[in-house]
Amino acid sequence: MSFIAPRSRLDAMLSDIAAAARTDLAERPRRVAAALAGHLLDPGLLAERSCPCRPDRYVRHLLHADPQGGYAVVALAWRPGQMSPVHAHRTWCAFGVHRGILTEGLYRAERGGEPVQCGSALRAPGMVGHGAADPELIHRLANLGSAEALSVHVYGVPYERFGQDVNLVYAA
């Protein structure tokens, strides 16, 4: 008789993401977001990983890099008051909140390309969002609460290319 070790909760989520990331590009962001949603409320999801915050800015922690380079999964750790720049994405993406509450600021580009906030949405644990590579889908994530937050993000580029191929930054 052979012993098969049980999959970790993180491995189960990564397996679901991998299956969703192999779907048609037009459906991929939505399907990856749905794969995330099924795991975000599990309090033990990231129990095996250390994802500490930094005092000066939010920080990304690599959870998985697809061996074929099609996508990467990261956990973002947010202290109260930390926020991303105002940005759009150069690639497809999906994200969800695991712990804490994030505020997503929504923007539209005015003439001259200057982004203007046109709305916001609270993102509580278990909530997901997704988008295609589109310079018109402009947003900012922020931890405006009083507790640390942790979110999981999937981007359609290799991790080594995050700096140049993920965010199209409009304002810091």
Per-residue pLDDT of the chain (172 residues; tens, 9 = 90+): 555 555 699 999 999 999 999 999 999 999 999 999 999 999 999 998 999 999 999 999 999 999 998 999 999 999 999 999 999 999 999 999 999 999 999 999 888 778 999 999 999 999 999 999 998 899 999 999 999 999 999 999 999 989 888 888 987 6
**What strands lie across the sheet with 167-171, from one edge to the other?**
115-123, 102-109, 134-142, 86-89, 167-171
Q: Where are the beta strands (DSSP E) in the chain?
A: 59-65, 72-78, 86-89, 93-99, 102-109, 115-123, 128-131, 134-142, 149-155, 167-171
Alpha-carbon gap, residue 60 to 81, rounded angstroms? 16
Residues of each annotated binding site: 87, 89, 139
- pLDDT reported for residue 110: 86
Domains of the chain: 9-171 (2.60.120.10)
Q: What is the DSSP letter of 31?
A: H
- pLDDT reported for residue 114: 85
CA atoms within 13 A on the CB side of 149: 27
Residues of each annotated binding site for Fe cation: 87, 89, 139
Give me Rg for the CA atoms of the chain: 16
State the helix-helix crossing angle for 28-37 and 9-21, rounded to 10 degrees: 160
